[in-house]
Every structure is written in C-alpha cells, then in structure tokens.
Chains A and B, each alone.
Chain A
C-alpha cells in the first residue's frame, strides 16, 4: 500500500487486495507487516520524537504480548491436551466440552480465543471455528456459521493462491451438518482431526438455540469428532442454570480457568511498565487514573494498554526534545540532532528554572544556559545522566520499600508494588499518615521479625539489581550507591542483632513503696512517672536508629515524587498531563453534548458564537443550540408554541411583535431543531397535553 500524505486532504481508495488480503492476514498473522506509518506522512515519521516513540511502543507492545502469552500458556496447553485426548476413550458418545472461565471482560478474551484457535490449527490435530453470539440469532444461522467456518476455513488454508476464485462456494442454505459430515469423510478419511467449535461468549447466545445446537452436535459426535469450547464470563453456575439436564447429560464438562484480569494487570505493570528498561514513566496521577479506570470500570487489559499507548503518544508528541526520553547512550546521539526550538523547549521545562537559579552566584553560567545552545548541549548529558540514575535508584529502592511494607497488617501503603509505586510517585511518602502508621508498626516488630524483614528487603533489592542492571556506567553507579547504603545498614542491623532487650533504666533507684503514699501523693507520683520518658531498651534504640537511617537516607533521598523534588529535566521522562488523557480516554457523552449545545464556540471555534457567560443566547448560534438553551429554561412540559415564539424572538430580534403568523422558514428551522433534539434524546412527544413535549433530562 502506498503511503498517503495526510488524512485531511481526502479519502483515498485502494483498489485491489481488499477482502482477500484481509482474510489471509487474519490467518497468517506472522506474515502481517505492522505498518504504523501508513497514515502519517514522511515529514512526521522522520522526526526523532516519532522514531523514539515507535521504538519504545514496539518494544513495549512486544513485551506485553510476551507476558500475556507466557501467562496463558499453561491453561492453553491444558485445553489442548483435553482436546487431543477427548476422543481417545470416549465410549459413551458424549460431547466433550471445555468450559473456560474467563472473567467478565469479554472483548479482551477474543484475542485469547483467537490464539487458542491458532494454536490448534498450527499443531494440525484439529480445525477450529469461532462462533459469535451476534452471528447466531437462530439455530439455522448457528449451524450454517459453524459448517461454513470449517469448510471454507479449511479451503482457505489449503489452496492459498490460484483457484480460490474459481471455486464455487456453497450457497448459504447448503451448509448443513450432513454436508459437514460428508466433507469430513472426504477431507480426513482417517478421522484423526478434531473439529473444535469455540463459543467465546456463552452468555451472548440465545439459550434455546444453544441447547438445540449442543443436542445436534451431540448427535453427530459419534461420526465426527466434535469438541465444544465455551467461554464462560461469569461462573459455572450460569452454565447449569441455563442448560437443562437433558442437554448437560450429553456433555462431558471440564472446567478450565484463565488467569484473572487483575493478575494480568499486575503482571503487565510489574514486569513491563515498572521495568527499568523503559525510560518512559507515568506520573502518579496518570498512573492511578489508568489503574483506577481498570479497577473501577471495566477490567479491560486491552483498554489499559491502549491508555498507556495514548500517554506515550501524547508524551512524545510534545516535541523533539522528548526524543531524549530513551536509553542514555542513544539519547546522547540525539542531542546533536536537536534544533534551537527544541532547546528552547527544554529551557521552558518547569524543573529547568530551579536548576538555573541554583547558579545564583555565576551569572555567566546562567546566561550561557539560557542563551547559548552549544553550552546547553554540553551540559545536557550530565543532566540526563542524573535523571537516569535517579530513576534507576528510585526503582531499586522501591523494591526495598515494598518488601518492607507489603505484609504489614492491613497494608496501609499497599500490598502490591504498583500501589506502593503510585503512592511514592505522587507525593512525599513520608508526609502521609499511612506512612507514619507503617513506620510505627515496623517499630513494634520483634527483633527476629525486624531483622528477617530487613534482610529480605535487602536481598530482594540486590536480586533486582542483579537481574536488571547491566554493566554500563549508569548501572555501575547505581550499584555503588545501593551497596554503600546497604553496607551502612548492615552495620546498623548488626547493632540491632546484638542489642539487649533490657531497659537501661536510671530511675529504678527511687523505688518507693507506693502503698504507703496518700491518695494525692500517689496521683502526683503517677503524673511524674507518666511525664518522664519510659526507659528505652538498647534494642529499641538501635531499631529506631536503623529506621531513621532508612527514612532519611533511602526514602527521603531516593523515593522522591516525580515532581519538583526530582532532578532537573525529569519532565522529559515523566508524562503528567492528566487532563488531556482524562478527556481523551474517558468519554463523557452527556457532558460533551451539553458543551456542544450550550457553547458551540467550544467546538466550532468560530468568531460569531463566542459567549462570555454560559447562559448567553446569540442569534448567530446554530438553531439547535438556540432551541436547546431555550428548553433548558422550561419545566417538565414544554409548550411548543411558546417555544417557537421564543425561538423566533431570538432568531429575529428586530421583528415586530404585532404580526401573528410566523415566517414559514423560521418555523421550518424550528421544527428541524426540535426534531434533532428529539433524536438526541432530550425531549419526546407526550399525550398528556396537546402541543406539548416532555423534557427528558435535568
């Protein structure tokens, strides 16, 4: 396909390989070429920022897919085993059925079912067809879809190129089970190939249809090895409640469980988004926003990944300066490609200002930084390196901190790495009440608990460093920092281990006999005792020392939020434009409609409709807006005649009120506006009162 310059110039028709190429592409996904740039012009795709974006996104995508694959392999192989062995000793003539519990988000699972079907086809022990509920409104359509799925699917597989067009395909009505049977006997006379029918959304099927369908499949399963795979989104009980006994008795049901969407998300976040390999980071707010959308609304991993992709696009689209958000050594090369505008952009970053101000005493340096591109070019590598080290250390110590807090009772900061991460990134963790609670709880731990916990945290961090850090200069520097901190910590820990539990009490000498005191004296005495500090054991003391060290040296130094506390130029690596993703990812149809109708200038950007207050009404606005604004002023029932008069008054303010008849043109415009409002669902006609309509929104 030729690249086309822009979408705005027109719609382009590509003749030729339409249907066929699509079908082939679907079957052989390996052949498919991912051509992201087909819509964008060369002047965009050649930009450094676009190339960095493309590189980052493709490796991100590949990683996510790999993880996805890895985590469903187990279930997939189990299902494959079941399908393979299903007809080995099927003596009672029962339809083997696999029920796959998928969890509620159905669109995501289509991909998984497709993978399953590809697997089955690749291993050549079965043919596969996927039936969607929407394609099967009745039994006839269901059978036809299934049979054509098998027959046509196999044909496409075999004769790839030439005689596809010459082949007479069958008429719709010819796809019956009988035809399938005779087709099977000619295609696979040895009967070795299993035919697998996959229904990804069991709930979407008409129950009566499904029952008949299963009965028919069962009646053929002694002649054709058929296997049914049901995707169940809710629970097995749904299957039992919708299929009566005379149907279930014909099935051999085996239940499989896919990993839940939640664990899927956690895996993706921990192994991909939080991997130090990626330099792109999400700010606390956008990160929470994306995870919240997932947890609160839809459980859709696909949606989450697309959200991340959107953030990625927004981030890189800000300008070429953001192409520096890449591997450190790659970004060094990119600095030379930057233009004057890009340097200006870097200068305008919010964190650049404090950096410049830090050279208070060297005005020359400030001027050079602000005006001389060459000078900035020289300082950039150092700044970038600082950022990289900061991010890497953040990640290492996040590991440490997570182990420290994840198993505390009720886990105030969070159990999972992503929860801890989002808290650390969005605000100073030490100032949170949850953190204080955590710290207190750690302080209450017994000696052995504390020591093992700390050691586990250290081990985890070191393990993380070993697995993820390479030998380049940045990683080495990071390792040094980590090691030096841990050495100091080991010293402190040593002291904790050796510390005795006895309280080194000074006040014990004045042990007076409490019983001999009068009531008042006793009261005073108790008051004094409560005011004097409790004797502190050596253990507590050393424990507190260790905790303070961790707090001041690790948390306050390295787990800083991605805000102004971070090193300069951190914005290049952190995407924080929460408002844009919120408005773009989550659609608010009602709000958008209201804005469009109430303030058309917002979308039209025309000079005529600009309004200062929201309830302004201008005659230049589109008719529907005028009608809408007028209807906002009325009550539950709207008198059409009054409405028309008001409309007319707005549209033609100079018109004399005397004349009774309305200009037919205005009436027509008004009628159309009302019809459009009705179409949008704001009003509907009512029978309660003549010439009135009901308002439907408030």
Chain B
C-alpha cells in the first residue's frame, strides 16, 4: 500500500502510527507472500477492529471480515467466506442460496483451492475467542490455510485475549501477534480533542437558536481541550474505556458549554466553568457504564439518580399482595435452615434445650451467616407452608396462587435448582435470588418484619 494511504489511516486514527506501519509491513504489499496468520489483540475500545477494517478496505486484496459471534454454526463461517471470495451475493433472484453448500472444513478447503491462485486473500475473524467453542478443527486449520490451500491467504484473528489462551493440546502454529495497548491519558485527550468538530456539529443540530450556534462555531479547540482536561481528571480513574469516555464527554460538554452560550459565564473563565460543571460531572460519574438515555434532560438525569438508590428500584417493581408474601416466604425458606422452621413459625414450639454445643454452633460469625452464604434450595411444599404461616388471613390454595410461583420464576426472583420438569411430583427445588434489602423493603410495604424471622438475626 502506498505511503499516502498509510498516512491517511494514521491521521484518522491518531496515536497508532506504529501499529499501522507494522500492519503495512506485514500485509501492505499484495504481491508479496502474506504471513500465515496474524493475531491482533488488546482491550476493548482500543481501535483494533476499526483500524484493521479500514486497512483491509484500502488494500487491493479480496478480504472478508466476519464476526465469530454471528457464526453460530460453522457452516455460516464457511459459506460467508466463500460467497465473498467468489464475489457471490445472495439475493432474491437466486432465492438467497449461497455460492456452494459447504458444511465441513473439508469442503471449505476444497472450494478455496479452486480460487485463482494468482491473487491474495485475507480472512479477518473478529471475536476470535469464540473459535475455541466452535468445531475443534477450525482453529488449527484457519491458522494453516496457506499450507492447506496453496493460496496466498492470510487469517487475521481479532480478540481481547492474549494468544496463550488459545493453545490446544495438539499445539498451534506460531502466529504474528500485534498488541494494541490501552491509550494513555494524553493519547485519550488527543483523540477526544480530534472529535471536536463532530461534537460541535452534533450540538448545533440540537440547538435551534441561531445566535447560540454562532457562538458555538466560534469556540476554539483550546476551549475544548480545557474541558477535556477537567473531564479526564475526573473520569480517567474510574473508566478507561474509550467509547464510554467519548459518549459521556459529549453529554457533559453540553452542560459545560451552556453558560457560555447564554452568556452567563465568560468562555475564558476556567475556574467558574469548573465550578459549574463539577456537580454534573460527579453525577455522571455515578452513572458511568449505565448507558441510560443520554438526552441530558433534567428529567432523565433525575431518573438516573433515582435509579441509583435501591429503594427506588424495588418500588418500581409492583407485585400483587400475595406475590409479595410468596417472595418473602421464599427468602425465608432460602435463608433459614429447615429444622428451624418449627421454632420460627409455630406458636407453641416447646422449649429449646440450650447446650454448649448448639450455642457454640450458633455463634454468629459473619462468614457463617445464612444471609451471607447465599440462598439454599427449598421445595414448593415448604414454600407454601411458610407462606401460610406468615400470612394472617386464610387463603385457598388456588390456581391463581400457584401460578404466582411460576410468574415469580419468570421474573427471575426465584429460580429452579433442580427438577424443573416435575413440579407436580413435588420434588422440584427452588431458590430465592433476591437480596435482603429488597425483601425487607417489600416486607416494610406489607407491614412484615423480615428480620424477625431470620435465624441469623435472633
């Protein structure tokens, strides 16, 4: 590939010149033999896929980029690659049939061999770690395609894991590896800074005020750099994921720039701007990775903050009255030992003998607390027995009640541990998957003190 092209890509993806040159050295010239396989790895959001894709598209080589997640059967992998190498497109006219039917690796190699040998081919597989879960022969074979087909063909694997994680018992051929390191803070700032034009454009499309858009146009990149500096100082500790940083910085910039647009703060008054933005920034910091709607309206921001608190979450789940009790009963069944049931739920349970042994056994150590050990399983019968014990009124055992159990399972508040098929027989075991906070909140709503019925807190 010409130097100009390389520079073009390098300009588009700053801070990656070295890697791009490396790629160019490996596969840049189509006339030379390609390496057997290249393994590209690095953390998410470091530009692996973007750079490789861009690079391959600018090469005069037939290439196919494919995600392994999408190839849930190996047949799809083979057929897509072949379709693309033979320039075959599925369409309504050929009733969406692939170029050849190819169900096995053998057929795949055979079909590849029939390709004209004078040109070069590249197969690029994203999310390559999924290859390990596919047919056993795929991974070793795609790394040795040159050998098997006699073509000038190269496989690029893109993954987040280091190559060590791919080793099989039978061994793999050595591959060229390219590592994409994480961007440093300075690099992040440079890249985000390059985004300024886009950010402006985006913001301008949201504003319908002409004057404001004009002020926005006048803003210089220094202003944005200042902002990014503030922004990264807050966020770089919590989050290094580039796309996430970019999306948050865009949202926060809108808040940052607003006082400048409506003229309340001068654009050069950095300290005042900082004071103005510090609160929204810390609010956004708590919502990092949540990816709620970024419309940055007050209302949604409020919803965001509300969603943080646990209370709000459990309040937003409205359950029918008996379902609440069933859930409490399930929690109690999951976090109390069955032999304590009599003591907890029967009125005249007799006197308990206190022996040193039992006292010692019951000594409360946090590690031993049932509530900290995780839920135990219980049968439907026990669930119903506890349900009837904690409910004051008398309810019939009706279909509606029983169907509540299954609807709780649907909502993932309960889960089957075993015997999902034989609910009828009574041997199915369930487990409660919600936490103490949630249950005690529900208990408070219906006026039931959950703590009182937990052995741990007695």
Which chain A residues have a beta carbon within 8 Å of chain B's beta carbons?
89, 91-92, 101, 103-106, 138-140, 143, 168, 170, 173-174, 176-179, 182-183, 186, 201, 203-204, 212, 215-216, 219, 233-238, 240, 245-246, 248-249, 251-255, 260-262, 293-299, 586-591, 680-681, 684, 696
Contacts and interface: CB of A to CB of B under 8 A. Distances in A.
Given A182-B96, A586-B399, A295 B320 contact: yes
A174 B427 CA distance: 42
A248 B317 contact: no
A430 B72 CA distance: 70
Interface in B40-89: 44, 67, 69-70, 72-73, 75-76, 80, 83, 89
Contacts of A249: 44, 241, 243-244, 289, 291
Contacts of B427: 684
A245 B425 contact: no
Contacts of B76: 176
B398 A586 contact: yes
A101 B303 CA distance: 13
Contact of A238 (B241, B407, B412): B412
B398 A215 contact: no
Given A177-B70, A262-B318, A298-B404, 14 more contacts: A92-B243, A104-B318, A104-B320, A104-B407, A139-B72, A173-B75, A182-B91, A203-B411, A215-B69, A219-B70, A295-B321, A296-B321, A589-B399, A681-B425
19 contacts: A92-B247, A104-B317, A105-B407, A168-B95, A177-B70, A186-B92, A215-B67, A233-B410, A234-B317, A236-B316, A249-B244, A249-B289, A254-B295, A261-B318, A297-B401, A586-B396, A587-B398, A587-B400, A591-B397
A364 to B, nearest CB: 52
Contacts of B95: 168, 170
Contact of B410 (A204, A298, A587, A588): A204
Interface string B86-103: 000111100111000000
B218 interface: no
B70 A216 contact: yes
Contacts of B402: 589
A233 B321 CA distance: 17
Nearest to A187: B92
B403 interface: yes
Nearest to A261: B318
Interface in B390-432: 395-404, 407, 410-413, 424-427
Nearest to A246: B44
A238 B313 CA distance: 9
A64 B120 CA distance: 67
A245 B397 contact: no
A591 to B, nearest CB: 7
Nearest to A105: B407
B69 A183 contact: no
A327 B73 CA distance: 65
B307 A588 contact: no
Contacts of A255: 292-293, 300, 303
B202 interface: yes
A186 B426 CA distance: 55
Contacts of A262: 318
Contact of B318 (A236, A238, A246, A260): A260
Interface residues of B, number: 65
Secondary structure dominating the interface of B: loop
A188 to B, nearest CB: 13
Contacts of B314: 235
A89 B241 contact: no
Nearest to B70: A216
A219 B293 CA distance: 20
Contacts of B395: 296
A166 to B, nearest CB: 13
Contacts of A261: 318
Interface in B293-316: 293-295, 300, 303, 307, 313-314, 316
Contacts of B285: none
Contacts of A104: 317-320, 323, 407, 411
Nearest to A589: B399
B370 to A, nearest CB: 22
A296 B320 CA distance: 5
A216 B67 contact: yes
A677 to B, nearest CB: 12
B292 A140 contact: no
B322 interface: yes
A139 B76 CA distance: 13
Contact of A298 (B72, B307, B400): B400
3 closest A-B pairs by beta carbon, nearest first, are A587-B399, A297-B400, A254-B293
Contact of A91 (B202, B290, B411): B202
Given A296-B322, A696-B426, A203 B396 contact: no
A681 B426 contact: yes
Contacts of A173: 75
Contacts of B320: 104, 294-299
Contacts of A103: 318
Contacts of B247: 92
Given A92-B243, A587-B398, A253 B291 contact: yes
B402 to A, nearest CB: 8
Contacts of B44: 246, 249
A255 B300 CA distance: 9
B198 interface: yes
B292 to A, nearest CB: 6
Contacts of A299: 318-320
Nearest to A292: B321
A140 B70 CA distance: 9
Contacts of A235: 313-314, 316-317
Nearest to A167: B95
A295 B303 CA distance: 27
A296 B391 CA distance: 12
Given A233-B411, A260-B318, A296-B321, A170 B91 contact: no
Contact of B404 (A176, A297, A586): A297
Contacts of B205: 89
Contacts of A138: 72
A636 to B, nearest CB: 13
Given A104-B317, A253-B293, A586-B398, A140 B73 contact: yes
Contacts of A589: 399, 402
A400 B75 CA distance: 73
A143 B313 contact: no
Contacts of A204: 410
Nearest to A103: B318
Contacts of B317: 104, 234-235
Contacts of B246: 92
A211 to B, nearest CB: 9
B91 A298 contact: no
B197 to A, nearest CB: 12
B94 to A, nearest CB: 10
Contact of A590 (B243, B397, B404, B425): B397
B403 A298 contact: yes
Given A295-B320, A681-B424, A219 B67 contact: yes
A254 B290 CA distance: 11
A103 B202 CA distance: 35
A174 B90 CA distance: 10
A248 B289 contact: yes
Contacts of B70: 177, 216, 219
Nearest to A212: B69
Interface in B106-128: 127
Contacts of B89: 182
A216 B69 contact: yes
Most chain A CB within 10 A, of B80, B320, B402, is at: B320
Nearest to B426: A696
B202 A89 contact: yes
B318 A170 contact: no
Nearest to A168: B95
Contact of A140 (B72, B202, B241, B425): B72
Nearest to B205: A89
